[in-house]
Amino acid sequence: MASGGAVGRRRVVFVVRPSSCGVLMSEVSSSAQSPGPAPGPSAASGPAPASGNRADWQPLLDDLTRRRSASRAMGGPAKVARYSAAGRLHARARVDALLDPGSFTELGTLAGGADAPSDAFVAGSGRIDGRPVFVGAEDFTVQGGSIGPAAAAKRARLARLAGQERAPLVMLLEGAGHRATNALQGHTASPNDLQALTELAGVVPTVAVVTGPSAGHGALTAPLSDFVVMVEGAGALFTAGPPLVAAAIGERVDKLTLGGTDVHCVASGVAHNAAADDRAALRLVRRYLSYLPSNAWQHPPFAGAGQGNADTGPRSTDAVLDLIPPDARRPYDMHAVLDTVFDARSVLEIQPAYGASVLTAFARLGGHAVAVVANQPAVRAGTIDADAASKAARFVEVCGAFHLPVVFLADNPGVLAGTVSERAGILRASARLFAAQHRLRVPKLHVTLRKAFGFGSSVMAMNPFDAQTISYALPGVTLGGIPAAAGAATAKQDAETRDRLVANESSGPWRSANSLSYDDVIDPRELRNALLAGLDRAAARTAEPPTPVTRVGYLP
C-alpha cells in the first residue's frame, strides 16, 4: 500500500435467499475502493416509499372483511327476517338498543367460523350513560342460541373482563344451553362463565335479560345475577325445556307455563321485573344501572339539577297526612307515600309481584341514590311472609354491597303466622332478613309509620342501637311483642291486666321515645326533610373511599 494513498475498503453485501428450512444469507465481496458510505436514502429524505405494500395487504383485508360480514350476518338474511317479522329485536339489535349509540366494541367476532357465526353469542363492551359496561347476547338465529366451545370461552372471557376492568355485566339470554354436538368433540377442562359470575357478586353489578326461552347452562346465568328482567310473552327460564321434560318425567307443558313471567316473577322469585317487550326491558336495565356505581370501589352516582333532577331540596310532605290513616287497621298504598317522600319520578320498584307485602325499591333522596324497604299495608296489612322476607334480604345484601343507604319504613303487624307460613319457612326467612339488615355498614334510616309488632319490628331495623343513622316514629304508632288484646287472651290474663296492656299499647311512641328507643317522634309533614337530614348526618362516612364488602360467617 503506497504511503499517503487512498485506503482500500472491502465492501460486504448480504444477499437474502429463501430456502425450505428458513432464510440463508450469503456474503458477496467487492474490492472497489469506497471513500465513504454507499449511496442510499439520506435521513433528510425520509423512508423509502412503500410501493406495492398496499397491494400485498389487500387480499388479507378482503378476507377479513368477508369473514366479519359473514359473522355479523348471524343466521343469514332469511332467518333474521323470520325472527324479526314479529317485531322482536335480534341479538345485535338488542346490543345496539342497550348501549349508547356507536359505543360497542365486539369481542370474538370470528369465533365459531362459517358454521356458527360468532358461535351464536355476540359479546363485547360499550357504554351506558357514558359509563363502561360489558354485554353478551345469545343469538337465537344461529343454532338456537346454543353454547358451543367458542361461545363458552367467550362467556368466560367476558365475565372475567367485567371483574378485571370493574364494569357491570349485562347478559341477554335466549338459547338452548350447551350445544348437543359438543359431546362429539373432545372435552377440555376450562374455566366457565358461571364460576366467574359467582366471583362478580358484590364486586360489579350483574344483570340478566331473558328475551326468549333460556334453558340449562344459559338459564343459570339468571339466578347468579343481581337483577333479572323477563320479556312478557316471550321470556322463559327452565332447567330443561318442554321436550326434555316430556322425555324425563312425562309431563307435557308449554314454555311459558313451564317457566314464563307468571312462574318466575310471581311464584318462584327467580326473576325480578317483567317488561312488555325487548325495548322496554333494555330501558329498564339502563335505569336500574343508573342507581348503582360501576363497581364496589365507587359510590353511587349523584343525580342533581345538572342531571335533570330538579327535586333535590327540602320540602314539606303535607300529602302524607291524607295518604296514611292514623287508624292502624285501615289499609293504604305505600307506593303513594314513596312517590311523595322521594325525589319526583325517581322510585323504581324491584320485584313488585313477588312477596308483595314488602316493597323493595331504588329511589333518589336529594339526588342521592338510596334503597327502600317498606311494608305494604295494602297487602295482608303489611304482614311479612317468607317470600317477602327472602326478597328483602337479597335486596338489602345487593344494596349494601354497592354502598346505597337503606331507608326502612315500618308498618306491619309482624311476621305471618299459621301452618302455611311455617311450612314455607317463615322463621328462617325472617331470620335471614334480620341478619342481612344487621350486617349493613351503610347508613340505615328507620321510621315507624304506624305499627310494628314482634319480629316484624326487628327485621325492619327498628331495634334500638343497631347502627341506625336515624330512628324515628310518627305520632300514634302502636308497638309491642304481640298485639295487646290477643296476647292477654292467650296468656289468660284478667280483665284489669288486659286493660293495662291495651292502654300501654295505645300510649303511642312516647314511652319508647322517653327511653331513647327512638331518636325522636316527628310530624308526618317532616318525613322527607328528616330523611334528608339523616343523609347529611352520614355525609362524612359516605365521602370515604369505598371498598368491596367482606363477610365473616353466613346468613341463616
Per residue in 64-76, is it b (16+ CB within 10 Å) or e — as a string?
A: eeeeeeebebbbe
Residue 37 has pLDDT above 60, yes or no: no
Higher pLDDT, 413 or 43: 413
Nearest to 157 by CA among 145, 169, 146: 169
Nearest to 286 by CA among 362, 224, 207, 215: 207
Q: Provide the 10 A C-beta neighbour count for residue 103.
A: 15
Distances in whole angstroms, Cα of residue 399 to Cα of each of 205, 421, 436: 10, 27, 11
Residue 4 has pLDDT above 90, yes or no: no
Q: What is the pLDDT of residue 290?
A: 98
Per residue in 471-494, pLDDT (tens digit) is 999 999 998 755 545 554 555 566
Cell numbers placing 254: 308449554
User: 244 burial class (0-12, 13-18, 19+ CB within 10 angstroms)?
Assistant: middle
What Rg do the C-alpha atoms of the chain give, in angstroms? 33
With cut-offs at 50, 70 and 90, classify the pLDDT of residue 47. Answer: low
Q: How far apart are CA 106 and CA 496, in angstroms?
A: 77
Give 185-222 as a 3 state SS string.
CCCCCCCCHHHHHHHHCCCCCEEEEEEEEEEHHHHCCC
Spell out where 235-310 has E strands. 236-238, 273-275
Task: Give the residues across from 358 on adjacent strands.
Answer: 375
Q: What is the pLDDT of residue 19?
A: 45
- Residue 81 identity (one-letter amino acid): A
Long-range contacts of range 44-52, CB-CB < 8 Å, 24 or more positions apart? none
Q: Mind listing the domains of the chain with CATH numbers?
A: 67-290 (3.90.226.10), 305-542 (3.90.226.10)
Per residue in 80-109, pLDDT (tens digit) is 999 999 889 999 999 999 999 999 999 999
Per residue in 441-471, is it b (16+ CB within 10 Å) or e — as a string?
A: ebbbbbbbbbbbbbbbbbbbbbbeeeebbbb
- Residue 520 identity (one-letter amino acid): D
Chain centroid offset of residue 355 CA? 20
Higher pLDDT, 491 or 26: 491
Residue 184 has pLDDT above 80, yes or no: no
User: Which backbone phi and psi does 271 adopt, to 5 degrees?
Assistant: -105, 160
CA angle in degrees (0–180, nearest 5) for 454-456-458: 85
- Residue 537 identity (one-letter amino acid): R
